Amino acid sequence: MMTKEVQLRKSLSLYQVVYMGLAWMTPMIYFSIYGIAYENAHGMLTQAYLLAFIAIFFTAYSYGVMSKSFPTSGSAYTYTKKSIHPYLGFLVGWALLLDYFFSPIIACLTFGIYLHAQFPSIPAYVWIIGLNIILGIVNVIGIKFSANISKLFVWIQILFIGVFCFFLFRNLTGDVHPMGLFLQTDVPFSTILAGASIICFSFLGFDTVTTMSEETVNSEKTIPRAIMIIILTASVLYLVPSVLTQLIYPHLTFVNVDSAGFEIVKLVGGAALSSVFITVLILAIFTQGLSSVTSVSRLLFVMGRDTILPKRVFAYLHPKFNTPVINIVIVSCVSLLALVISLDNAVKFVNFGALTAFFFVNISVIAQKYIKENQRSVKQTFLYLVLPLVGAGFIGYLLSLLDRDALWMGGVWLVIGIVYHLIRKKVSSESAGPVLTPRAIPSKPMRTSGSIK
């Protein structure tokens, strides 16, 4: 009797997937990293955002190609496993767990930090534990419910950015010339590129929608379209305010770089807009946490179904909600690390995991399309060799920019994965036991009652 493969239920539409991706990406991150990005790009935010968009576009394209070839959940893990090698796929999936596991940790940590700042009498750990419980409950109820909440909170973020741009536009004067942004030559290109390397992280999250492929209707077309809509929407939400701000305030100084986003909002819209800013930012953090718990629980589900992780635990779906309940509980427990870990270290883990996955998705396009499927016409060479090579090259460059601590911590995590894989392989072979081959029995001539004529 054949056992039916455990599968998630298809229920998500194109725009529900888009909202989940934008929720993970968090449009309000524009303000969260404003000071760091401004400082690294020496004020050339518009140019840096353009470079970052171009760089991420190549990797987004590669994700779209691979999601058409393999319309199953699992993201970079699945793509690398099927196009290159299962063992390398495991390592990429293991690295990707850093990105996906530490994203809800960052959400819980920043949620606690901001709310504790607003209400000093309530300890940060109360907010962290409370958010963990809420995120777990909403994810257990179902991904469609999560998508609907994400839709509401994403629109609130977009509305705030629109209001911010309205205040900026109102302050424009007639002597401002937009082309002047691109005629400034006092800042070296290498400096703008350094700013772009920081800003690239504000685009992280578009890839998480590939973990929802099995829950998406017509995923072969829907997921690639969703990825491009997410990237294009984010680029507009980041570029428009950066252009307007740079035109009106070409030279800015901040009291505190970490809170520069709050300072620029207060400068543009006064105390009223800055008070609304805190509320919207908290909602944005909540939706990012909600989407990230969804993504990592699905990645664990696929790795469990493939027996990379214990299948009985990680491939379990709740009979009523059809959600990976055990995985959600595990993620919620791991997210309690927000009580003890620093934000800086959590971000380093995310960066290492995301960039490693991005690099191998680009390589997977070449391995699958150009090498395995032998698609090598002039057009196909451009689409399946040149474009992904450019994407891999840029992502590899960003990996080289990570500091020593990030590379060291990422390397240790990969070593742990290799040890786990070797132990799992040894236990599997021992439990299977020796393979017995039947001893050959010499055949005897068959007796017949008559002769063959």
pLDDT computed for residue 3 by the predictor:
46
Averaged pLDDT, 278-299:
85
Question: pLDDT averaged over the chain?
Answer: 83
Within-domain flag for 381: yes
pLDDT digit string, tens, across residues 26-43: 898 888 788 888 888 888
At 69-80, the pLDDT tens digits run 887 766 788 899
Confidence of residue 59 (pLDDT cuts 50, 70, 90): very high
> Domain containing 158: what range?
14-427
Mean pLDDT in residue range 308-317: 87
Residue 73 lies in a domain: yes
Give SS3 for 136. helix
Q: Which pTM does this prediction carry? A: 0.78
User: Is 48 among the domain residues?
Assistant: yes
Distance CA 227, CA 207 (A): 7
- For 12, list phi and psi in degrees, rounded to 5: -85, 135
| CATH number for 240 | 1.20.1740.10
In a domain, 185, yes or no: yes
pLDDT digits (tens, 9 = 90+) for 354-397: 889 889 999 999 999 999 999 999 999 999 999 999 999 988 88
- Per DSSP, the three-state class of 216 is strand
CB atoms within 10 A of CB 2: 4
**Quick check: is 392 in a domain?**
yes
H helices within 142-259, ranges in order?
A: 143-170, 189-199, 219-248
Question: Is 234 part of any domain?
Answer: yes
- Over residues 317-342, the mean pLDDT reads 88
- pLDDT tens-digit map of 63-115: 999 988 887 766 788 899 999 998 899 899 888 888 888 888 888 888 888 78
Instruction: With cut-offs at 50, 70 and 90, classify the pLDDT of residue 8.
Output: low
pLDDT for the residue 74: 61
Of 453, 49, 427, 37, the closest CA to residue 234 belongs to: 49
115 located within any domain? yes
Query: Is residue 350 in a domain?
Result: yes
Instruction: Produce one character per residue of 25-49: b if its CB has 16 or more CB atoms within 10 Å, e if not.
Output: bbbbbbbbbbbbbbebbbbbbbbbb
CA atoms of 43 and 59, how far apart (whole Å) = 26
How many structural domains comprise the chain? Answer: 1
Q: Structure tokens of 165?
A: 């741009």
Mean pLDDT of all residues in 309-321? 86
